[in-house]
Amino acid sequence: MRSRQLWIAALAMHLLLVLAVSCWDIIDLAARGRTLVPAPIASGTRNIAHIMESMSPRQLHRSNPIRQTVIGYVHAAGIESPYSYFAPNVPPTLQVVFEIKHRDHHVSHKVPSARSATDQLRLSALIDRSVGEQGLWREVVLQMLASSIWEDNPDAVEIRAIVASRTFPGPSEFLQGAQESYDFVCSYNFKFDTAQFENVHP
Partner 1 sequence: MSDAWLALLRVGLGVEVVLYCLSERSGWIDTFSSNSSVLSARRVSEALLSLESALIPRVWWLLKPASHLGLREATLLWMLWSVLLLSGLLLILGLFCRPAAVTAWLLHLACVKSSDIFAYGMDNFVSIGLFYLMLSPLPDSYSVESRIWKIRFRDVRMVGFFQRALQLHLCIIYFFSGLAKCLGTDWWNGLNIWAAVTRPPFNVFDPMLIAKWRFLLPAVGITICLIEIGYPIFIWPRRTRSIWLTSVLAMHSAIGIAMGMYLFGLIMIILNLAAFGSTNPSVFYQNDPVKR
Give contact residues for partner 1 (rule: CB under 8 A): 4, 7, 11, 14-15, 18-19, 22-23, 25-26, 29-30, 35-37, 62, 67-69, 71-73, 75-90, 93, 114-126, 130, 140-141, 143-144, 147-148, 150-151, 166, 168, 170-172, 174-175, 192
Count CB atoms within 10 A of the CB of residue 164: 17
Whole-angstrom Cα distance, residue 146 to residue 190?
Answer: 8
**Considering beta carbons, is residue 95 or 99 the nearer one to partner 1?**
95
**Considering beta carbons, is residue 105 or 116 the nearer one to partner 1?**
116
Mind giving me the DSSP string for 71-111? Answer: HHHHHHTT-SS---TT-SSPPPEEEEEEEEEETTS-EEEE-
**Considering beta carbons, is residue 80 or 99 the nearer one to partner 1?**
80
Least gap, CB of 63 to partner 1 (angstroms): 9
Least gap, CB of 82 to partner 1 (angstroms): 7
Q: CB neighbours of 123 closer than 8 A, spacing ≥ 6?
A: 112, 114
Cis peptide before 88 (omega within 30 of 0): yes
Least gap, CB of 191 to partner 1 (angstroms): 13
Whole-angstrom Cα distance, residue 188 to residue 145?
Answer: 12
- Going by C-alpha positions, the residue among 148, 150, 149, 146 that lies closest to residue 199 is 146
**Considering beta carbons, is residue 105 or 159 the nearer one to partner 1?**
159
**Considering beta carbons, is residue 101 or 131 the nearer one to partner 1?**
131
Least gap, CB of 107 to partner 1 (angstroms): 22
Least gap, CB of 41 to partner 1 (angstroms): 11
